[in-house]
Structure 1
Amino acid sequence: MTERGTALLERPERPERPAPPRAVSLPVGLIRTARPRQWIKNVLVVAAPAAAGQLGSRHTAVQLALVFTLFTAAAAAVYLINDARDADADRAHPVKCRRPVAAGDVPVSVAYTAGALLAAAAITGAATLCNAMTGALLTAYLSMQLAYCVWLKHVLVVDLAVVTTGFLLRAMIGGVALGIPLSRWFLITTGFGALFMVAAKRYSEAVQMEGSEGVTRVLLNAYTTGYLRFVWQLAAGVAVLAYCLWALESGGVAGQALLPWRQLSVIAFILAVLRYAVFADRGTAGAPEDVVLRDRPLAVIGLVWAAMYGLAVADL
């Protein structure tokens, strides 16, 4: 065999380049950049009214639909500005290069403008159509998320707190818009429940990236899997404890209820946490909405919990 033939055999194969993203129209690109799949997270706006048993009126339904829309607009504004800011870095990423802004389907200037307009519309709409406190919460959410995009995502522990607070604000804003007092146990359970899912997701990403090279989230290289495991286990424990205290606070069977449904709902809540922890422990707990929607037993447990809590609120 000739030297040239030997060299050809020894030459390492070049990794296949990802197929170039298919061009899309500007409106479609803007919608894709707004991450429609993430909108399901904003269903959390019904959490506080549901916990208080105030979902029966037409006014509540209309107000919650409005708050859902406003929070979706605010979240979309963050995605647009984030993708515009990270466009150059995303072009070098094997997956993120397909994002419309990185692919050139949405100009950077258009993404910035659309994001700014959505943010302004969300804050103005919340302040005028709901109340000043709702506008303040949306402003706090936008400020915190934009600070996360620019700086806070590079700060250890703070990045976890910011993402967790984003979920907590979603759960709070429905109650604030309707003037419903927020229970301390509701806030603690929701906050640590969110931290549990956020840390489980980061832990899963860290496990999947162990021993691999390439472009990954910067902080995944700073966190150890042991630390992230500690965080999600701690958060799960606090969330369960807070929920138990919340459920037992009523002190027995309320009114003419057939069974102590609120107390019995503790069983379903703990089962849901344990089921979710299976995926966290395996390192397969991705986006929370994907875990819940793809695992049928977890979805069934969630429905049982919702039914029990609904019976407790209705005093049946």
Structure 2
Amino acid sequence: MSQHRSMSTSAPVLPVPELDPIPGAVQAAGLSWPRAVLRTSRPRQWPKNLLVFAAPVAAADRGRIEGLGGALTAFAVFTLASCAIYFVNDVADAERDRCHPVKCTRPVASGALAERHALGVAVACLLLSATAALTVGSAGLAACVIGYLVLTVLYSTTLKHLPVLELSVLASGFVLRALGGAAAADVAPSGWFVLVCSLGALLVAISKRYTELAGLGPAAGRHRPCLRGYTPAGLRRAQRAVSVAMIGAYLSWALLNGSPWAVGWHLVTVLPLAAALLRFDRLTERATMARVEDLIIRDGPMLGCELVWLVLFVAAGTT
């Protein structure tokens, strides 16, 4: 009887609710496998590979743009190679990404894409990239892609933790794209052209670090250790100094690019370029978590400046 009373008065066992340690993981976990793969491949980053067309267009002579077929192949090569790096990086950074307010929803970090699957897709992308590079038969393109992969791996493993040096490595990836496109198109880029590309790439790298530092605040160093070596004021000064240097290098290229008939057109393109840089400076000044790529391709005034520059730039090579 006492045993029955004890059992009847015991506290009921309540189910313990499962806690989601990753903000936004419920939504991310619902991704289908193809969608998870596509998200991990970063489609919004693919436009940066359009740099492979810079040298062929810049070297156009009275409407003749040589080597577009090779540049198209270079675009595919760098897109596939960069996708492979994204998959590998997401696997390597999964634990840190799970603590990040935005990156926690990435498919690998949230569990929507298994790590072994991500690595398998990375290998497939590398094989396709190598196959595409072989179709061009350009030693220069192969060297640029190999250099890109080696630098990116070094960056992901060690160099990304070293302030200043990591900016140079990050910027070099953009420059190698431009040089790879030139090699695939069999176009010899001028020194001024390479300098403009280098400064533009460095500008983007500095801006990325500033938006991260300003957006994450005191927690920035935990998510990206190299941010401990920067200050917002220092990054802003560096960004503006590089912008001025880029305008100077671009003017020098416009005057000394070897196509006297196009000098006037190229000088005119400095105006929308300067306007775009001013707009970019204002956009990055805001403390925000927005990606720098979004600032470049989603802001209306910025897109307007870029479109005007592009139309004038192409007109200089096709008139």
Matched, 1:299 2:303: yes
Would the aligned equivalents of 2:66 and 2:185 in 1 still touch at CA under 8 Å? no
Shift of 1:72: 0.9
One of 146, 155, 158 as aligned partner of 2:162: 155
Would the aligned equivalents of 1:265 and 1:309 in 2 still touch at CA under 8 Å? yes
Spell out the pairing of 1:112-127 with structure 2 (5 A cutoff). 112-127=119-134
Matched, 1:142 2:146: no
Partners of 1:22 and 1:110 lie apart in 2 by 15
Per-residue CA deviation, residues 132-189 of structure 1 (Å, 9 max, x unaligned), is 2211111111111111111111011111111111111122211110110011111101
Partners of 2:273 and 2:98 lie apart in 1 by 42
Matched, 1:173 2:177: no
Per-residue CA deviation, residues 15-66 of structure 1 (Å, 9 max, x unaligned), is 9962423333333322221111211211221111111117967984433322
How many pairs are equivalent?
299
Per-residue CA deviation, residues 283-305 of structure 1 (Å, 9 max, x unaligned), is 45943431122222222222222
Q: Residue 274 of structure 1 corresponds to which residue in structure 2? A: 278
Q: Residue 4 of structure 1 corresponds to which residue in structure 2? A: none
Would the aligned equivalents of 1:201 and 1:285 in 2 still touch at CA under 8 Å? no
Matched, 1:87 2:75: no
Partners of 1:262 and 1:63 lie apart in 2 by 25
Any unmatched runs of 5+ in structure 2?
1-19
One of 7, 16, 23 as aligned partner of 1:18: 23
Per-residue CA deviation, residues 81-100 of structure 1 (Å, 9 max, x unaligned), is 11112223333434333222
Would the aligned equivalents of 1:236 and 1:273 in 2 still touch at CA under 8 Å? yes
Partners of 2:76 and 2:64 lie apart in 1 by 19
Spell out the pairing of 1:61-140 with structure 2 (5 A cutoff). 61-140=68-147
Matched, 1:262 2:262: no
Per-residue CA deviation, residues 264-300 of structure 1 (Å, 9 max, x unaligned), is 2222222222221112333459434311222222222
Range with bigger deviation, 34-43 or 76-85: 34-43
Shift of 1:201: 2.2
Range with bigger deviation, 58-67 or 130-139: 58-67
Q: Residue 54 of structure 2 corresponds to which residue in structure 1? A: 47
Partners of 1:124 and 1:286 lie apart in 2 by 35
Q: Residue 38 of structure 2 corresponds to which residue in structure 1? A: 31
Residue type of the alignment partner of 1:282: R
Would the aligned equivalents of 1:126 and 1:132 in 2 still touch at CA under 8 Å? no
Partners of 2:211 and 2:289 lie apart in 1 by 6
Range with bigger deviation, 168-177 or 181-190: 168-177
Residue type of the alignment partner of 1:151: T
- SS of the counterpart of 1:156? coil
When normalised by structure 2's length, the TM-score is: 0.83
Partners of 2:42 and 2:214 lie apart in 1 by 25
Computed over aligned residues only, the root mean square deviation of the Cα atoms, in angstroms, reads 2.9
Partners of 1:191 and 1:31 lie apart in 2 by 29
Residue type of the alignment partner of 2:295: V
Residue type of the alignment partner of 2:33: L
From the superposition, tell whether residues 136 and 124 of structure 1 become closer, same or farther in structure 2 (CA, over 3 Å). farther
Would the aligned equivalents of 1:200 and 1:285 in 2 still touch at CA under 8 Å? no
Range with bigger deviation, 69-78 or 214-223: 214-223
From the superposition, tell whether residues 171 and 96 of structure 1 become closer, same or farther in structure 2 (CA, over 3 Å). same
Q: Residue 241 of structure 1 corresponds to which residue in structure 2? A: 248
Shift of 1:69: 1.4
Range with bigger deviation, 172-181 or 301-310: 301-310
Would the aligned equivalents of 2:31 and 2:112 in 1 still touch at CA under 8 Å? yes
Range with bigger deviation, 117-126 or 169-178: 117-126
Partners of 1:59 and 1:52 lie apart in 2 by 8
Any unmatched runs of 5+ in structure 1?
1-14
Would the aligned equivalents of 1:124 and 1:135 in 2 still touch at CA under 8 Å? no
